[in-house]
Each structure stands twice: as structure tokens, then as C-alpha cells.
Structure 1
Amino acid sequence: MNLCDRRVKPDLSTGVGRRQAFEKDGHPHPEEPLLNEEDERGCWEKTGMVTVQQNGQDIGLWYRIYHLPEGQDPTCIIVGYHGYSDHSDFLMHNHARVLRHSNRATVILFDQPASGKSDSLW
């Protein structure tokens, strides 16, 4: 979906609309100057959705897990949430990659309800 095409207006007020609008590549990321290719070799990411209850209503929370290469055990697990008017696929993306590398950690990021690819009212 081309977000610059004014004829096509995705509904960005819902988690479903945001997931459809950014389903393939997500948000464009700037280069991370603290990491190089060798630092990222073998690392992988997993995205998904977990359902929670909010006022008796099911809400889907989007998450992304930044894993170390296969066979490497993490020294810790870091869980991160973004601030107001942000989402886990923007500034937090590079922060998570650096935390994974510098702490040998598995990093889990969630989108807050009504932000990024998570559901709820906007």
C-alpha cells in the first residue's frame, strides 16, 4: 500500500488498519551507527500478537522479540515500552538491537494499546 497516494487512505485509527498499512517492511529505520554487520550476524526477530483484556474487551497487543543467534543463551531479558505517540517499530527498533548486542540479551518490545500495530481506541 502506498501511503503517499492520496486516493488510498488506510484507516490508521485501528490496529488492523495500521497492520495492513505497514505489513511488509514496517517503518523505515535509520542506520544504527553503533552496530556493524558482524554484530548482527545470526540475530533474528519474531513478531506477533498477544491478546489481553481491557474493560472486558479483547485487545491485541503487537510485539517484536529480538533474539540472539541460535545456540547463544541470553544473559537477561529486557522488556521495553515506548512513550506517547511512538511505536515499537520506530525509535525503539535500533535501541533494542543495541541492547541485544551490548547486553547479550533477548529484547521484547510491545506496542502500547492504540499505538503502532496494537488494537484499541485511538
Structure 2
Amino acid sequence: MAGSSVVESTGSPAGPATRSASDDDALTLLQAVADPVRWAVVTVLTDGPLCVCDIKERVPVPGNLLSYHLKVLRTSGLVSASRRGRWVDYALADDARARLVAALPVPGAAAASGGSSSGGSSSRP
């Protein structure tokens, strides 16, 4: 039994040996929005570009924490920043929504790649 669990863990589709670069990109992107503060920032920015001071009013966290979360979102490419004198305006990247949708798993992809097929019998009429 112990031998079979070793085979299962190394043969897992989610294992590091079989994960593709696009899977890594998707995971990085989804991790960027998985934090409640970052999700709040993304939600606020759906209304349009905002100065960091306006974001701070709508997402009440300490300035240093907001700065960190904005950096994570910029690094992931979901948010862009532009300087306007002393002010920094933040906006969602033009392709942010499309990239987030593309990062989500496609229905049936797990079954096609050798995943569990236990859901197949429940889809019969």
C-alpha cells in the first residue's frame, strides 16, 4: 500500500514535474488575487483608474500594506501605475479580465488529462 501512494503522489497531474509554464503563470495570477486586500483593490479599480490616496479611502489598510499589495498586483501584470506629478494613479491592465478568465480551469480538462472520472456517471439524463 505504501508503494502505491508513492506512485500516486509522483504521478499526480499537479506535481511539479508535469506542471507547465502556463499552469505556473495561471497559479501566480490566481495567487495574486487570492488575498482579500488585493481582491478589494482589483474590485475598486474596476470602476476606473484611481490615485493611491483614493484607493486607500476605499480599502482601509495601512499605507505600507497597501503599497505591498499594489506591488504584488503590478508584478503580476494585473495593475499598471502611472505617475502624475507627486501622485501615482493605478488602473487595471487592459487584459486583466481576460487573463484572469484564461487562468481558470476549463471544465473537463482534468478528465481529459487522466483525472478522476467519478463525475461522468452523474451527468447521464
Q: Tell me the TM-score normalized by structure 1.
A: 0.26
Structure number with larger C-alpha Rg? 2
User: RCO higher in 1 or 2 (8 Å CA, sep ≥ 6)?
Assistant: 1
Q: Tell me the TM-score normalized by structure 2.
A: 0.25
